[in-house]
Structure 1
Amino acid sequence: MTATLPRPAADEGLRDRVAAVLPVIRDEAATIDDRAVFPAAGLAALRRSGLMGLLVPTSHGGLGGDLSDLVDVAVALAGECMSTAMIWAMHGQQVAALVAHGSERLRAELLPRIARGEVYVASVTSEKGKGGHLLTAQAALRRHDGVLHLERDAPIVTGGEHADGFLITMRDAPDAPPDAVSAVYADRAQLELSASGSWNPLGMRGTHSGALRISGRVGGHQLVGAPGQFRAVAVRTFAPAGHVAWAACWLGAARGALRDVLALLRSPAGRRQFDLGSELLRARLARVRMELDSMAALLAQCLRDLAGDTDPEAVPVQLRLNALKVFTAERSFAAVDLLVELVGLRHGYLRDAPLALERRFRDLRSASLNYANDRLLFANGTLALLDRGVSLAW
């Protein structure tokens, strides 16, 4: 089993589905950023559109999409609101893991509900003391008569207070080592949830990624992957889907920023204010476009890696996936920073400027912190030492 999902005939109405939700997301973006509230209207529109079930196979009522479809939709959503796009894309990451690694019973019970837009799935992987490190866990599962008992403190859960279900990482047993990690799906109705703290960040304010205390009991069939073997789920599906989903959101935000700046420059007002023949202006535009094309090229190569017969655990594939996250996080932020310089204080720095570059700038500052770049660079340094032939994709 690989990180990719089966792809039947593409849903012919996918573009129409996306087009239907974009106005809702666009209209809500400034408000959710200003108030640091969850994008309730945007999520409701996504539920109605069928896009919550994009990665659910058609046999379970979904759209039967794959990671390329996930990227296409995430780029479009992030062009309007990166918070909403990230909420949806991370839901897609959880669904990818459930489709590829959930038990037959769990898939039969859960996937049709996701396809109908009834279940938004949040991720619970962070813990105090270890941060977002995927492959270790502290809180332990307890088993009794086939029932899994869990208690979990998570300092950050994106959209957790609004989720209908959770994919939760746990240490497999009280006597298990920290790297024996199991993933468990839990419905909200099976849990007691207690939110704490506040959510007032610099950017990504609509994700409402506050702390949650979680406790409850779930059936044994709700394990996702083999007991203690979440590493296989993470390496083959969860991490690749996450990297391409995050990169798509960051690229989409930067692409939306360039799109809006170009519209301003080409407008009658823009032609009066800006000298479109300026060498400096054209050089800055060229650099931003070069950044976007470079990010898109690496993202496209990673999608080809995951769609083919290549082992997702192969060193060159892992190098590119980790590089995708780091490179896109850095260069999307740099691209929007350069656009702020290009259009100046009035259009690029003021909070109430129509271009919303200031919001995108703040949102993209989070990208390098969302699973820290330094951690992935350390991993890639180790992998680079193993790849003595310097295997590159052509």
Structure 2
Amino acid sequence: MTATVSRPDTTPDLRDRVAAVLPVIRDEAAKIDEQAVFPTGGLAALRDSGLMGLLVPAEYGGLGGDLDDLVEVAVALAGECMSTAMIWAMHGQQVAALVAHGTERLRAELLPRIARGEVYVASVTSEKGKGGHLLTAHAPLHRRDGALHLDRDAPIVTGGEHADGFLITVRDAPDAPPDAVSAVYADRSQLEVGTSGSWNPLGMRGTHSGALHLSGRVPDHHLVGSPGQFRTVAVRTFAPAGHVAWAACWLGAARGALRDVLGLLRSPAGRRQFDLGSELLRARLARVRMDLDTMSALLAQCLRDLAGDADPEAVPVQLRLNALKVFTAERSFASVDLLVELTGLRHGYLRDAPLALERRFRDLRSASLNYANDRLLSANGTLALLDRGVSLAW
């Protein structure tokens, strides 16, 4: 992923930090999947590494990274454990929103703590009756005595039981319409946090994306963005960061799977078991590699869009960002599915096989469900009708 790194002089330090955490994440991956437990060891290593503050500006003690750096790190982490990578990447999404839209006072209070690895931030956008739709909310915000009061149920909060803080979407006021959405940051110590239900999913078992009930009050400067204007936060920062972060995790998991399969095929044992001259084997490898290169190219183009002067609300940019999420979700899963076919029952299908293709297969099945592909395809159909000139990136 060197093509996505914007500052070569910072690359060695960033890669050293990543290299230090990968062994912990790798060693923990099978256990957190088998037992459906949160990756406490991996998160502790990420806190110690400084990577929790990757997107925090240097003036607040962070690494001063950008979305290119977020992608590079997420790809590497997901190659070992997609649950841990997704937890970290979604934290990065929240940090990006706080950096770009938080009040000056909130940034001064919170960002140095994030940079020191003290605060892992979870996202609270899901709600009963609307799913994960970002731009509507039901539970209202109340303003009393210079404070923001909230009482919020969320059916899915990735890593919420273990989070130190939350970025929460709410309806701006009891009499506000559902599309007047505000975002509020809350420290865990400012809330009463209740958990319910269990987390026993097919894949992504380490994310602990269970249900939470959050209630409490925070100072009024914890509003992120203008009152009722979360749409601006979402369109300009939150959604783009989320799409590239998710895509990086899915691409990283598929890339790790291909890397491990190639290692097996090139090993002495693999050469004895597989016919490397087989046209079918080579065609399957070619298709997986082609999918990975195509996903990577689309991701790189979206990063160029977001780093340049392009308006993130422009139709071609929105089309590519939505397509990135849908295409990468579909093709990363399809790539691992094809690798399972290639390696067969012994290496691809068994749960205790060293390649861990079975785990990656289950993890990547979730990709199309994270903000449903059908919803984004419907949006892109509408956007495609608006783009009569069929604007493409060259």
Residue aligning to 1:252:
252
Amino acid at match of 1:147: A
Partner of 1:371, secondary structure, is coil
Task: Spell out, residue by residue over 1:347-378, the C-alpha distance to the aligned partner (whole angstroms, 9 max, x if none).
Answer: 00000000000000000000000000000000
1:287 aligned residue: 287
Equivalent residue number for residue 124 of structure 1: 124
Mapped partners of 2:10, 2:30: distance in 1 = 33
| Distance in 2 of aligned mates of 1:99 and 1:8 | 23
2:354 matched to which residue of 1?
354
Aligned to 1:208: 208
- Structure 1 unaligned spans of 5+: 1-5
Check conservation: 1:165, 1:188, Cα contact below 8 A.
yes
Aligned partner of 1:135 in structure 2 is 135
Structure 2 counterpart of 1:207, which letter? T
Query: After superposition, what is the alpha-carbon deviation per residue over 1:34-77, rounded to whole angstroms, capped at 9, x for unaligned?
Result: 00010000000000000000000000000000000000000000
Partner Cα distance (2:145, 2:12) in 1: 47
Q: 1:201 corresponds to which letter in structure 2?
A: P
Question: Are the counterparts in 2 of residues 10 and 64 from structure 1 also a CA contact under 8 Å?
Answer: no
Residue 145 of structure 1, CA deviation:
1.7
Secondary structure class of the residue paired with 1:184:
strand
TM-score (norm 1): 0.98
Aligned 8 A contact 1:11 1:65 in 2 = no
Paired residue secondary structure (1:143): strand
Q: Give SS of 1:206's match.
A: coil
Deviations 1:79-99 (A, max 9, x none): 000000000000000000000
Partner of 1:3: none
Q: What secondary structure, in the 3-state scheme, does the structure 2 residue paired with 1:213 have?
A: strand
Cα distance in 2, alignment partners of residues 18 and 218 from structure 1: 34
Question: Following superposition of structure 1 onto structure 2, how do residues 165-314 of structure 1 map, counting pairs within 5 Å?
Answer: 165-314=165-314
Q: Considering only aligned residues, what root-mean-square deviation do their CA atoms show, in Å?
A: 1.0
1:27 aligns with 2:15: no
Aligned residue type for 2:185: Y
1:9 to partner: Cα distance: 6.2
Structure 2 Cα separation of the partners of residues 89 and 189 of structure 1? 23
1: CA distance, partners of 2:223 / 2:181: 11
CA drift of 1:149 comes to: 0.3
| Secondary structure at the counterpart of residue 148 of structure 2 | strand
Matched residues in 1 for 2:53 and 2:190: separation?
Answer: 22
Measure, in 2, the Cα distance between the counterparts of 1:283 and 1:372: 31
SS in 1 for 2:152: strand
CA 1:285–1:11 in structure 2 vs 1: closer, same or farther (change >3 Å)? Answer: closer
**Residues 219-268 of structure 1: CA deviation (Å, up to 9, x unaligned):** 00000000000000000000000000000000000000000000000000
Per the TM alignment, residue 308 of structure 1 is displaced from its structure 2 partner at its CA by 0.2
Equivalent residues of 1:7, 1:65 under 8 A apart:
no
Q: 1:226 to 1:7 in 2, by over 3 A?
A: farther
Q: In the superposition, relative to structure 1, how do residues 373 and 105 fare at CA in structure 2: closer, same or farther (>3 Å)?
A: same
Distance 2:257 2:211 in 1: 31
- Report how many residues are paired: 389
For 1:45, the aligned partner's letter is A
Separation in 2, partners of 1:356, 1:8: 33
1:53 corresponds in structure 2 to 53
Q: In the alignment, does 2:16 pair up with 1:16?
A: yes
Mapped to 2, the partners of 1:12 and 1:284 lie a distance apart of: 34
Compute the displacement of 1:146 (Å). 1.2
For 2:209, give the aligned amino acid. Answer: S
Question: Hey, what does 1:75 align to over in structure 2?
Answer: 75
Aligned partner of residue 63 in structure 1, secondary structure: coil
